Amino acid sequence: MRLASGFAGDDVVAENPLVRKLRAYSDLDSDDMARLEELCVNVHCIEPRCDIIGDGQRPEHNNLMLEGWGARYKDLPDGERQIVGFLIPGDFCDLHVTLLGKMDHGICALTRCRVAYVPDQLLTRITSSSATLARAFWRSTLVDEAILRSWVINNGQRDAVEAVAHLFCEMHLRMTNVGLVRDHQFTVPVTQQDLGDALGMSMVHTNRALQNLRAESLIQFAKKELTILDLDRLRQRARFDPSYLHLRRE
């Protein structure tokens, strides 16, 4: 299977993104991988700027992102929107949220997305048939939590330029992890408004932080394509420590 993302250059890249992602945390045998493929049969397309699942809804299945980017968001009473997470291929939107009942935030598509609807029973069947996979899912939720902690730090302790740089470093690793980075370049299909909503700053100031990073020759960012010109210096600028992502390489 070859994804339409335009990055499918070799077999590894063309793999199922969920498989790619989980292999970063655990060794999977071919049975495990086959089981993961099973999860991705019921695939739907979502148009950009449409909700994959809205705030307050009760999901009937788990949404698994196969292609495209999404954003977790929360709309506030005063009309502001905070983005609390970006979703890329291989990410579950709402793993086990059926346990909680209602969603306490929404998830919307930033691009046209391909999303697999995974029934709860299928998920429980698969995790109970493979302890490895059960652990791999656990690990991925723990990493999601670690990412959230790093976002709290981002909004709390870093200035504008550091915050943008840090987010780019994080997305660079996560995208690499699912094989979507080529020559230090990858798609970041967000507007500067979205970036600001994620980092808790205004669009104007986000723009100036980006210009700052460009002026220092650390990145290029145009037409939703991000190129990292000097990874080491970018990470220094962001005070980025990749350990919270718990990837086996790095």
Partner DNA sequence: CGTTCCCTTGACACCGATCAACTCTGGTGG
Partner DNA sequence: CCACCAGAGTTGATCGGTGTCAAGGGAACG
By CB under 7 A, name the binding residues for DNA.
159-161, 191-193, 196, 200-205, 207-208, 210-211, 222-223
| Residue span 24-63 as binding mask against a copy of itself, x where in contact by CB under 8 A, dash where not | ----------------------------------------
Give me the long-range contacts of 181-186 (CB less than 8 A, separation at least 24): 182/7, 182/9, 183/227, 184/227, 184/228, 184/229, 184/231, 185/225, 185/226, 185/227, 185/228, 186/225, 186/226
Which part of the chain contacts a copy of itself (CB under 8 A), choosing from 91-99, 170-178, 204-212, 221-229?
A: 91-99
Q: Which residues pair with 220 in a beta bridge?
A: 227
- We find the least distance from the C-beta atom of residue 191 to a copy of itself, in angstroms, to be 17
Q: 94 with 59: CB under 8 angstroms?
A: yes
Q: Which of 143, 168, 165, 163 is nearest to 153 (CA)?
A: 163
Token pair listed for 141: 């939720």
| Residue span 161-200 as binding mask against a copy of itself, x where in contact by CB under 8 A, dash where not | --------------------------------------xx
- We find the least distance from the C-beta atom of residue 219 to DNA, in angstroms, to be 12
Contact call for residue 79 and a copy of itself (CB under 8 A): no
Letter string b/e over residues 151-172, b meaning 16 or more CB atoms within 10 A of that residue's CB: beebeeebebbbbbbbbbbbbb
Q: Is 1 exposed, middle or buried (0-12, 13-18, 19+ CB in 10 A)?
A: exposed
44 binds, options a copy of itself, DNA, none, Cβ within 5 to 8 A by partner type = none
- We find the least distance from the C-beta atom of residue 204 to DNA, in angstroms, to be 4
Q: Which residues bind a copy of itself (CB under 8 A)?
A: 72, 74, 76-78, 80, 82, 84-85, 96-97, 99-102, 104-105, 135, 138-139, 141-146, 148-149, 151-153, 155-157, 199-200, 239, 243-244, 246
